[in-house]
Structure 1
Amino acid sequence: MAIFSVYVINKAGSLIYHYDHTSNRPEVEKTFSFPLELKLKIFDERVVVAFGERDGIKVGHTVLSVNGIPADGRCLKDGRDIIEVLNDEKKYPINIKFGRPKLTSNQRIMLASMFHSLFAFGTQLSPEPRSSGIEVLETDTFKLHCHQTMTGIKFVVLTDPRQTAVEMLLKKLYEIYADFALKNPFYSLDMPIRCELFDDNLKGALEQAERLGISNI
């Protein structure tokens, strides 16, 4: 069981806090001979796999490094173009690491805004009056749990599908928010949360929830 990340979204749909707790982005590193069997393309300024899944490497995976040199967009950290390096037979055999790219800050902000809109749609489409909106979204690899407070603040937690007692965790996160963010004289409502005590207590609650599973946190 694992808790992947936490998002806090204000009543206007803006992301005011994010924390990655556990990474669920497996990486695959292999040595290849020439010619490279995988079909690569440039997408969103990254080099991604377009065709030729093999050995755990999936379509959509991004080139993370070449011969231990990290990728920086479509180039390596040393400035060389990744596609040009991989097309050069003299560079082979070559070691390439693939994996899912981490979301950028702008992508997280966009996704938070999209979820805020979906939450509103869910509330309006519900056949029951005064619907609480989206509380759980489940996939085969993770669950999204959401708790909206009376003031419109949304706490969103992404977990392993097997993680238990998440409702209790969401309530605990709200208590931490009330105690260490709202009571902070330097914090303005709906603004990004930047508070060390909030960070430390949130991390502690997540670790305790993972350890105990069904816990009274």
Structure 2
Amino acid sequence: MSSLWIINKAGGLIYQADYFVPAAAAAGAPPLSANEALILAGTLHGIHAITARINPTRARGEGLECLRGDGFELHVRSTLTGIKLLLLAAPTLPNAPALLQQAYEAYADLVMKNPFYSPEMPVRIPRFDERVRQIVGGS
């Protein structure tokens, strides 16, 4: 399974989409409950803030960008406005950072340019859902 999450600058989960991809489905990855996703999003927000502060180079001022574990990879794309896009995927997913960049571009085009969207609020835009499904789901 692949998941795209968007976390606002306060650490709240404003978007979550889960997509089954063949490699993850074969591994039997169980989906997270809504409560587990909220807790994990807040935790990852805190980890990102901590890693940004302890970054010895401080050149980019960013924190966590990639976390690899047994059977998963977590890629993070932080924006200048404090929004974080997270892609949780199987290590076999090809070119995950490029997919995350495409999701960010879709967020900028379809969410932030939408006159009916309020910043920092949950994202409920069907066209964005469709675009994310194309990017992450591989459709």
- Measured against the shorter chain, the TM-score band is 0.7 to 0.9
**C-alpha contact 2:5 2:15 (8 A) present in aligned 1:** yes
- Tell me, in whole angstroms, the C-alpha distance in 2 between the residues paired with 1:156 and 1:8: 6
Whether 1:119 and 2:117 are equivalent positions in the alignment is: no
Task: Choose which of 76, 79, 85 in structure 2 pairs with 1:149.
Answer: 79
Higher helix share: 2
Larger Rg: 1
Contact 2:2 2:87 in 1 (8 A): yes
Question: Could you tell me whether the CA contact under 8 Å between 2:2 and 2:136 is conserved in 1?
Answer: no
Q: Give yes or no for contact 2:2–2:20 (8 Å, CA) kept in 1.
A: yes
SS at match of 2:2: strand
Aligned to 2:128: 198
Measure the CA separation in 1 of the matches of 2:56 and 2:137. 38
Q: Could you list the runs of 5+ residues in structure 1 that have no partner in the other structure?
A: 28-98, 212-217
SS of corresponding position for 1:171: helix
Note the C-alpha offset of 1:100. 7.0
Identity of matched residues, %: 38
User: Which stretch shifts more, 174-183 or 189-198?
Assistant: 174-183
What's the CA shift string for 1:58-84, capped at 9, x where partnerless? Answer: xxxxxxxxxxxxxxxxxxxxxxxxxxx
- 2:3 aligned to 2, 5, 12, which one? 5
1:22 partner letter:
F
Gaps of 5+ in 2: none
**How many Å separate the matches in 1 of 2:109 and 2:29?**
36
- Whichever residue aligns with residue 129 of structure 1, its letter is R
TM-score, normalised to structure 2's length?
A: 0.88
Residues of 2 paired with 1:106 and 1:198: CA distance? 23
Higher relative contact order (CA 8 A, sep 6+): 2
